[in-house]
Amino acid sequence: MCKVGVLQIEWGHRFGSMERMTWGRGVEPSFRAEQLPTDTFPVLKYIPSWFPGASFKRKANSWKGIRNATITPPFMKVKKAMVNGTAEDCFTLRCLQRLERPDSRHDNLSVEEEIIKNTAGTMYEGGSDTGSTALLTFILAMLCFPCAQREAQEELDEVIGKERLPDHEDEDFLPYVKALVYECFRWQTVAPLCKYFRFPIPHRVDTDDNYKGYFIPKHSTVLANVWGILRDEKTYGPNAHFFEPKRWLLKCSGQRGWKLNPDMREPISISFGFGRRACPGKHMAVSSFWLSVSSMLHSFNITPAIDKDGNPIEPKVEYVSASQNRPAPFQCTIKPRSEEHAALIRRALDNDLE
């Protein structure tokens, strides 16, 4: 779901299911995170690839080839379609249209076109797997904390009904769902950037600073402990390690329902990074995640899988932390809540394919 959206935004192309599978197999090895010596000693980038101990350079060259072979064909397809007047609106098309001196040759790229191509590829790199990881965290949370799922569905039934799917215009009228989205980003943030995250993203201090008596000299490397910030019991209470959407809410006085607590700082500004290293696509990511979560809760029940003896498989909160804080593989059952919901889903799919 997330990958399809990112790919369509980049190149305006609706990938078929088999095409998406092939595309993913080609690109994922080149985006696999690994700590390289050049991250610590940048001067090592100048040694030749044949030098003893320089296997990291040969590996990086291999990944570069995979990446170029993956992102070049869809870029060239957009470039050709633009000349023919058949290109779909997308990021790549808009950038190409603004070029003052595009390369007219179909098989060649100018420096500016190379930049556009690589920027589109980076959008996939940063936005596809992170989105799917967040969705897996949501599904696991619904398995482990079914009360949150029921309360969100009650709100959706009251506000949306069974005649349509949620839309972005409904967001302000669904405070519990919004709080549930906040809690997904807080409870198991995708990029903790601390001891649970093997390859932290560094920041550099651009001026001398003092923090609680600690002197931090200019050009120091600083790693933000996002996990610690979002699990701080002083802010989120003694149950900070639990999934609890109500921590973001206040009960409306004199009426049913909830409202967001204005004194609680939303986690988006923390979980998506800080300063110049903040995720540039966070607004699109949060918007897409909200729509995915609200639509799934509206139309599906997420329940434990059943084993061969007919007993529910107890879900466990287990995560594998590498380039992302991702749930370990788990089983579940996802079924439409009713025949009306199933029919609504089919209509939505039919409209999307038209």
What is the pLDDT at residue 70? 83
- Alpha carbon of residue 226 to chain centroid: 16
Model pLDDT for residues 121-162, shown as the tens digit of each residue: 888 777 767 888 899 999 999 999 999 999 999 999 999 999
Instruction: Walk me through the domains of the chain, giving residue ranges and CATH numbers.
Output: 1-109 (no CATH), 127-354 (1.10.630.10)
Q: Are strands 332-336 and 300-304 parallel, antiparallel or unpaired?
A: antiparallel
| Integer Cα distance of 124 and 4 in angstroms | 10
Answer left, alpha or beta for residue 130, where phi above 0 means left and psi between -120 and 50 means alpha.
alpha
Contacting residues for 302 by C-beta, under 8 A, at least 6 apart: 139, 142, 143, 149, 296, 332, 333, 334
DSSP string, 273-326: --GGGS-TTHHHHHHHHHHHHHHHHHHEEEEE-B-TTSPBPPP---EEESSSEE
| Integer Cα distance of 331 and 65 in angstroms | 36
DSSP string, 162-174: SSS---GGGGGG-
Contacting residues for 177 by C-beta, under 8 A, at least 6 apart: 152, 155, 156, 166, 171, 290, 293, 294, 297
Give the position of tokens 């999307």: 352
For the ranges 8-17, 175-184, 326-335, the lowest mean pLDDT is seen at 8-17
The enclosing H or E element of 20 equals helix 17-27
Q: Using 50, 70 and 90 to split pLDDT, how confident is the model at 14?
A: low
| Integer Cα distance of 70 and 20 in angstroms | 12
What is the pLDDT at residue 17? 44
CB 89 within 8 A of CB 97: no
| Integer Cα distance of 328 and 212 in angstroms | 38
For the ranges 11-15, 42-46, 287-291, 346-350, the lowest mean pLDDT is seen at 11-15
What is the pLDDT at residue 178? 97
pTM over 0.85, yes/no: no
* pLDDT higher than 60, residue 26: no
279 is in an annotated binding site: yes
* pLDDT higher than 90, residue 170: yes
Model pLDDT for residues 83-99, shown as the tens digit of each residue: 888 888 999 999 999 98
Model pLDDT for residues 264-297, shown as the tens digit of each residue: 988 998 888 877 778 888 888 899 999 999 999 9
Q: What's the mean per-residue pLDDT of the chain?
A: 84
What is the pLDDT at residue 137? 95
| Integer Cα distance of 140 and 302 in angstroms | 9
Contacting residues for 227 by C-beta, under 8 A, at least 6 apart: 189, 192, 193, 194, 196, 197, 325
The enclosing H or E element of 351 equals helix 339-353
What is the pLDDT at residue 196? 36
Nearest to 265 by CA among 206, 347, 197, 185: 185
Average pLDDT on 291-309 reads: 95
Average pLDDT on 43-67 reads: 86
Model pLDDT for residues 101-123, shown as the tens digit of each residue: 777 666 678 889 999 999 888 88
Model pLDDT for residues 172-221, shown as the tens digit of each residue: 999 999 999 999 999 998 877 643 334 556 788 889 999 889 999 998 88
Cβ-based neighbour number of residue 110 at 10 Å: 14
The enclosing H or E element of 155 equals helix 146-159
Average pLDDT on 46-56 reads: 88
Nearest to 183 by CA among 269, 243, 135: 243
**Rounded percentage of the chain residues whose pLDDT exceeds 70:** 85
Write the CA distances from 176 to 90, 250, 292, integer angstroms: 33, 10, 15
